[in-house]
Amino acid sequence: MRIAVAGSIATDHLMSFEGRFAEQIIPEQIQQLSLSFLIDELDVRRGGVAANICFGLGGFGLRPVLVGAAGADFEEYRSWLDRHGVDTSAVLISELRHTARFVCTTDRDQNQIASFYTGAMAEARNIELKPIADRLGGLDLVLIGANDPAAMIRHSEECRERSIPFAADPSQQLARMEGQEVRSLIEGATFLFTNEYEKSLAEQKSGWSDSEILDRVGIRITTLGAKGARIERREEPSVHVPAAQVDEAVDPTGMGDSFRAGFLAAHSWGLPLERAVQVGNAVAVHCLEADGPQEYSLTSASLLERIERSYGAEAAEEVRPHL
């Protein structure tokens, strides 16, 4: 299965605050909010939703195609992704801007405060999918992740025009998008990925109810954090899949991206949706237990052990032949 992942490519600057954000905020002074947190260490990590998802898919040997824009400073990052099974030939290199940058501070309760510098990502709107598909002999699925909003809309429109199946994964860009943009992004998607907050925001922004969105997409996957994930399809009962067991929570950055990589890998193997979500959950906790979105180590043995421990021997045996 040939999967292209369109979305952000970024460098993550990750910091940990040993206290709690909630203890630093005075409700009566929220209008004049000015906070500074003393941070002991800074980790600079490779990130961006498209690159994170591709990294995960590459670990399964699927050779995903990374579609996005980066700066001239991307070459070291490109080499890393190439070594981890990612096709980076479709990345547009900006002549004017640096690669996007994500700056995030996480407190002891795993709450996060983050900022994102767009940089070269603004040029992703200039990327057309047809030349990429023609060069590769076609695309079986395009995941459209958080990116320049104009690029996200362009990609979804092109997928519909060319009958390319696509997954809509707007993530944090929902906050920036207007109602018509949200409707244009998700209309006709094979999959719609959101977390629980984004699910409500998508309904609010689009003006469509839950059932109206299900009328317009094939399958809706809502991640629920520590509660797992929910699968919804039109005129079918929803299915709740519990989260995989966690040994030690280290850093939640990139968990959603690693979930998508695991889910799409299992989907490409032809596994049922519930099993695909279980694989996604198991990959996500590997990411949670590492310090950075592309720092986790995933082996066949570790994945099968986590699936069996979380979902039983039958689930592990169904996944085993594909690893």
Q: Annotated catalytic sites, by residue?
A: 257
Cβ(54)–Cβ(10) under 8 Å? no
Distance CA 257, CA 54 (A): 9
Task: Provide the 10 A C-beta neighbour count for residue 239.
Answer: 14
Number of H helices, E strands in the chain: 11, 14
Distance CA 62, CA 52 (A): 14
Distance CA 102, CA 24 (A): 23
Write out the two tokens for 89.
């030939």
Residue showing tokens 């069996």? 308
CB-based contacts of 115: which residues, under 8 Å, 6+ apart? 102, 103, 104
Q: How far is the CA of 43 from the CAs of 79, 189, 251, 282, in angstroms?
A: 20, 36, 11, 24
Interatomic CA distance for residues 286 and 282, integer angstroms = 7
